[in-house]
């Protein structure tokens, strides 16, 4: 590993951890209720929910009372007279049955990383063949990179001798 690579890897790790240390969190999307804006297998980074950001059109993560333990990522369709959030998945025809109290919101969508959560989704769905194939592909790519780098460095040494 070159000096540049040794410096970049820790910097990327720190850059990835800073949002998490600031109260942000990651969610792997498991359903297609937010298609086409957010697809199954995408990872959504959510920030802590300041009240002023809870407005119509915002994508929020919340824990509905009727689905213990499972968070939902939907868009705020409207705010009712009691100040509760009426949510709806973009792909759903109707709004969710239960309005969400603002205190049940656990995050506001800030960044979507397409496909990044596919391995987690495959694991949860028991699609171990896809998971294994992706693992083999990553190992093969990892083996090819150093070989290509060594070939490039040898060629550079030959050119510098001329």
Query: E strands, 36-137, where?
Result: 43-47, 59-62, 72-79, 85-88, 105-113
- Confidence grade of residue 129 (pLDDT, cut at 50, 70, 90): very high
| Assigned token pair, 118 | 């596919």
Q: Given CA atoms 130, 135, 136, 140 in this order, what sign does their dihedral have?
A: positive
pLDDT tens-digit series, residues 24-74: 888 899 999 999 999 999 999 999 888 778 999 999 999 887 767 789 999
Mean pLDDT for the stretch of residues 123-148: 85
Identify the CA nearest to 29 among candidates 70, 78, 77, 87. Answer: 70
Instruction: Map tokens 């850059």 to a residue.
Output: 15
The per-residue pLDDT for 162 is 65
What's the pTM value of the predicted model, to 2 decimals? 0.72
The per-residue pLDDT for 16 is 65
Mean pLDDT for the stretch of residues 2-11: 61
Question: Is pLDDT of 140 > 70?
Answer: yes
**In this structure, are residues 142 and 74 in contact, taking their beta carbons and an 8 Å threshold?**
no
| Assigned token pair, 110 | 């800030």
Q: Of 1-10, 40-49, 143-152, where does mean pLDDT reach its minimum?
A: 1-10
- What mean pLDDT value characterizes the chain? 84
Torsions phi, psi for 135 (to 5 deg)? -65, -45
Instruction: Map tokens 């496909």 to a residue.
Output: 115
């Amino acid at each position: 590993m070159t000096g540049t690579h040794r410096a970049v890897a820790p910097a990327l790790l720190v850059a990835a951890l800073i949002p998490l240390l600031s109260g942000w969190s990651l969610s792997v999307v498991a359903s297609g209720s937010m298609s086409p804006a957010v697809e199954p297998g995408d990872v959504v980074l959510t920030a802590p929910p300041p009240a002023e950001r809870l407005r119509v059109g915002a994508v929020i993560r919340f824990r509905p009372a009727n689905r213990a333990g499972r968070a939902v990522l939907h868009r705020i369709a409207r705010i009712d007279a009691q100040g509760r959030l009426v949510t709806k998945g973009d792909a759903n025809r109707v709004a969710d049955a239960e309005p969400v109290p603002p205190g049940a919101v656990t995050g506001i969508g800030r960044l979507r990383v397409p496909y990044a959560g596919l391995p987690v989704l495959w694991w949860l769905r028991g699609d171990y063949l896809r998971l294994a194939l992706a693992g083999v592909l990553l190992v093969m790519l990892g083996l090819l990179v150093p070989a290509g780098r060594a070939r490039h460095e040898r060629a550079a040494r030959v050119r510098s001798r001329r």
